[in-house]
Amino acid sequence: MKKFIPDNLPQPNSPEARDTASLIHPLTNLKTHLEKGPLVIEEGQGVWVTDVHGKKYIEGMSGLWCLSLGYGQERLVKAATDQMTRLPYYHLTNHKSHQPAIDLAEKLLEIAPVPMSKVWFSNSGSEGNDSAVRIVWYYWHAKGKPEKRKIISHQRAYHGNTIASASLSGMYYNQASFGLPLDGFLHVTPPHHYRYSNPGENEQDFASRLADELDKLIFSEGPETVGAFFTEPIMGSGGVIVPPPTYYEKVQTVLEKHEILLIADEVITAFGRTGNMFGTTTMGLNPDMLVCAKGLSSAYIPISALMVNARVFDVISEESDRIGVFGLSFTYSGHPVSAAVARETLRIYEDENIIDHVRMMEPHFLGGLNKLLDHPLVGEVRGKGLVAGVELVNNKTTGEAFDPVHNVGPFCVECAEAHGLIVRAIGDTISFCPPLVINESEIEELILRFQLALDDTLNMVQNKLWFQHARKD
């Protein structure tokens, strides 16, 4: 199934043809793209987007997990316009500052889920996590333990696409043929009970085993060489993996024992996505640093924030004095327009009671998806708040996955697109991350369109010899 393009091929001078002639696309098969062409989006309103041919879609992924307030937020447009008129650019280097960055930093520290001391701004979640890695190294060097450079994260985690953050990530495609990961980046089993538990192993025992695995890895590497553990409260791009109860409690006990910093990557989970302002609260974390982006400005303009606690800041402050300067810098760090839009975004979350709205919509959203567990293809539904993953399986009884060569997940996503719903395939997990402003009727429409896509996908796989749902085990 292909996206809708007139005559099934990009027409000369069409947006599709101009795209394939000029752009390199991220997370895309570049060769296939030259033949298939893009879906070109023209405009958006609320949770809906319209392509250049006039077809409307429910944007079920908030773009890239980020458009939390949906399209058409005039307050954000005004905040950007007003700041562009007043002060379109200034920097934060060499003791310079401006009011929007100060205002935003103060608000973030006020609402932080655990006590934090200072805020470092950059332009994306990738840069935020990259900066966190460098601050980990800087911190331990200042503490007289420069050998504590190794960093642990999860397999299947996604922490970004700079050289350091791609090394943090546990996705093969971020590293294959790039010469990554860098040395010293280690990965442990993701906390996904459905896919990684042993036969008969309950969630508590699974969490204990993974914490023990982490402890053994640290011991084998040498605790004196391990500086930090990075985690997403809920793993977004790894397939919306929700760790089981007690997992983070047990992991944090291990980290405290070995004097290892904890960094929470809240690029996806911050600002209401999980039903609390921060996923750290939802999952019971107590991080030394916290990275947020995406929903910070509802993706209306690039910005990310890295919050550090007093334990970290006091040490790096003294080290910068010893050296003479803190040598981390971005030209657009704390850009005044980005900061002004982000600050207004935080006001909207409060003024419109977005957290309460997410909590009201969660039963409709997750409840509706859970009803699909009766579908022959659906093995598991998982999620919190307004983020979820639906895993498609070859055999519901055993949980056996489809062979990746069959591209069942991507096929389902194309079927959904044909029915006017944009979602994302992470392998054979279909991920959902609708704008937080979605209402009950729009959720019902989203689930209806997804069910149509599931049925289309079932029609395809039922005729394949490798589909095992009907097998008597």
Domain segments of the chain as ranges? 39-72+355-461, 75-351
Q: What secondary structure, in 3-state letters, does 351-366 show? A: HCCHHHHHHHHHHHHH
End-to-end CA distance of the chain: 32
Q: Which residues, 6 or more positions from 245, have their beta carbon under 8 angstroms from its beta carbon? A: 203, 204, 207
Q: Tell the residue number behind the tokens 């069942």, with chain if given.
A: 408
Q: What is the pLDDT of residues 199-255, one digit of tens each?
A: 999 999 999 999 999 999 999 999 999 999 999 999 999 999 999 999 999 999 999
pLDDT > 70: percent of the chain = 96
Does residue 277 surpass a pLDDT of 80? yes
Question: Would you place residue 471 in the very low, low, confident or very high pLDDT band (cuts 50, 70, 90)?
Answer: very low
Q: What is the pLDDT of residues 391-411, one digit of tens each?
A: 999 999 999 999 999 999 999
How big is the chain by its Cα radius of gyration, in Å? Answer: 23
Q: What is the CATH number of domain 75-351?
A: 3.40.640.10
DSSP state of 465: T
The per-residue pLDDT for 467 is: 66
Please report how the helices 440-461 and 408-418 are oriented relative to each other, as an axis angle in degrees rounded to 10.
130
The per-residue pLDDT of the chain, averaged, comes to: 95
The per-residue pLDDT for 323 is: 96
Q: What is the pLDDT of residues 51-102, one digit of tens each?
A: 999 999 999 999 999 999 999 999 999 999 999 999 999 999 999 999 999 9
The per-residue pLDDT for 8 is: 53
Beta bridge partners of 458: none
Chain-centroid distance, C-alpha 275? 16
Q: How far apart are CA 198 and CA 127, in angstroms?
A: 37
Please report how the helices 354-370 and 336-351 are oriented relative to each other, as an axis angle in degrees rounded to 10.
70
Chain-centroid distance, C-alpha 403? 25
Q: Which residues, 6 or more positions from 141, have their beta carbon under 8 angstroms from its beta carbon? A: 319
What is the enclosing helix (H) or strand (E) of 452?
Answer: helix 440-461
Homologous superfamily assigned to 39-72+355-461: Aspartate Aminotransferase, domain 1 (3.90.1150.10)
Does residue 3 surpass a pLDDT of 60? no
